[in-house]
Each structure stands twice: as structure tokens, then as C-alpha cells.
A and B are shown apart, each in its own frame.
Chain A
Amino acid sequence: MAKVLIPTPLRQYVDKKDVVEASGASVAEVLTGVVTAHPSLKKQIYSDEGKLRSFVNVYVNDEDIRYLDKEKTAVTDADTLSIVPSIAGGR
């Protein structure tokens, strides 16, 4: 199973774990596995329309999936996924 690193503020939704594992051949499948096992996490990373929230980036190892095949990016059991927010702002 692939590993998914959980940011500190989201660990409350995954039994306080800092890393969870889920099966799947793609980013979408792995993340679906994670939110199925931990339903309260879903609202944090997916919109009501079922899309990843605008501020959510996903990395497979060191690669941003926006520059790969987005949520269809292939994943193996050796891969580690990271959830990383987009953050900007200004006065």
C-alpha cells in the first residue's frame, strides 16, 4: 500500500496518525481509500462537488501531480504521497 503523509492539523481526522496507508493504482484511488477509511477527512481536502479543494496540492514523492498526470498519476506501493496547501496573500 502507498503511504500518505498527513499534515499536523489533519491528524485529528485520521486517529492522530502522521502517516496512513491505502491501496490504489492512482493518486485518486489512494486518496479515495484514505477518505473512505477516514470519512471526516473528506471535507478537509475535497469540496462538496467532490473535487480536491483549490488550496490542496498533492505530491508523489518529490513530484507535484499538477505536472504529472494530475489525479490519474500512477502510484505504486513504494510511493509516498504528501498533501501540501497552496498559500498566498497580501494586504
Chain B
Amino acid sequence: MIDISSTPWQTMVAHAEATYPNECCGVMLGSIDGDSKSVTIATPLENVSAGSQTARYQLRPEDLLHADREARRLKLDLIGIYHSHPDCDAYFSETDLKNSCPWYSFVVLSVQNGKFHHANSWLPNAEQTASEKEELIWPKS
């Protein structure tokens, strides 16, 4: 289960809507207790995918390195990655799966007509052949 607090959730939704019709991406920091993950900080990162970004995103590895260092400095954990799907559902696509990493939660935000619509969290396997839906809790108000 991954529970996202109000402040990081607002950051993620605002980022996804501001980036529309392109895909956005970023990292989520927080704490982990067994299978229970609590996100307290969301940090938008640059989508460095070459070409059109309406259906693609790519994170710069150096940005992930710096995010991990920031998490260590704050005594937090790098829990997961978020990105948006403009004008489509929050599924974990073949492209997402083939370019994923099994270590993190992947939260996908569906943005439809420029507004947040719904979200899901996914856990890809080590072989990048399948992903499992993870319970996602976000502030509904």
C-alpha cells in the first residue's frame, strides 16, 4: 500500500496538469514500514525524452542519483516514481513496463482534457514482463 500525503499529492497533480498535453515525471520520497509506504515529499523532475513528450517520458539518471542523496540527507527513502498519462487511463503500458525498474512504486496519473482524472500505482517485476497493481491512497478532498 502506498499512501500519499496532501502536499506531495498537490505537487504531483499540479505538475501533471501544468505539463499537459505532455507527460510529466518525478520522484516520491517518504518512509517505508514493511509493505506500507508513506509519501511526504514529491519532487518534479525534467522529462528528458527526446522528441514528442505527449506519450513518452524519461528520467535523467543523475536526477535520480541526486534524489536518492536528498532522501538520505532528510533521513527519508526514495519510494517511487510518478508520471502522467495525458488523455488516457492510468494503466501501466508496455512502454512503461519495458523501461521500468522493479525496485520502486510507479504512480501513474491520468490527466484528461488538462485536468486530473484518476491514478493507479504499479509494481513491475524484475523481468519487466508483468506489473501488479498496488493499493494507492491519496487525499480525495
In the complex, whether A84 has a CB less than 8 A from a CB of chain B is yes
User: Given A89-B57, A89-B95, A43 and B126 touching (CB < 8 A)?
Assistant: yes
CB neighbours (8 Å) of B99 from chain A are 55, 86-89
Segment from B2-10, B12-20, B59-67, B113-121 that makes contact with A: B59-67
Secondary structure at chain A's binding surface: helix, strand, loop or mixed? Answer: mixed
A7 lies within 8 A of B88 (CB): no
A86 to B103, CA, bound (A): 11
A90 to B81, CA, bound (A): 13
Interface size class on chain A is 20 to 34
A84 to B104, CA, bound (A): 12
CB neighbours (8 Å) of B96 from chain A are 89-91
A7 lies within 8 A of B55 (CB): no
B81 lies within 8 A of A87 (CB): yes
**8 Å CB contact of B61 from A18, A64, A91:** A64
In the complex, whether A85 has a CB less than 8 A from a CB of chain B is yes
In the complex, whether B41 has a CB less than 8 A from a CB of chain A is no
A55 lies within 8 A of B78 (CB): no
A28 to B93, CA, bound (A): 33
Min Cβ gap B16→A in Å is: 13
Which residues of A come within 8 Å of B, CB atoms?
Answer: 5, 7-10, 18, 43-44, 53, 55, 57, 59, 62, 64, 82, 84-91
13 A-B pairs in the complex with CB atoms less than 8 angstroms apart: A8-B32, A44-B102, A55-B128, A59-B65, A62-B65, A85-B64, A85-B103, A87-B59, A89-B95, A91-B85, A91-B88, A91-B91, A91-B95
Which residues of B come within 8 Å of A, CB atoms?
Answer: 23, 32, 49, 55-59, 61-62, 64-65, 68, 71-72, 77-79, 81, 83, 85-86, 88, 91, 93, 95-97, 99-104, 106, 126, 128
Apart from A82-B68, A87-B58, 15 more pairs, CB < 8 Å = A5-B68, A8-B32, A55-B99, A55-B100, A55-B101, A85-B101, A87-B64, A88-B56, A88-B57, A89-B99, A89-B106, A90-B56, A90-B57, A91-B85, A91-B91
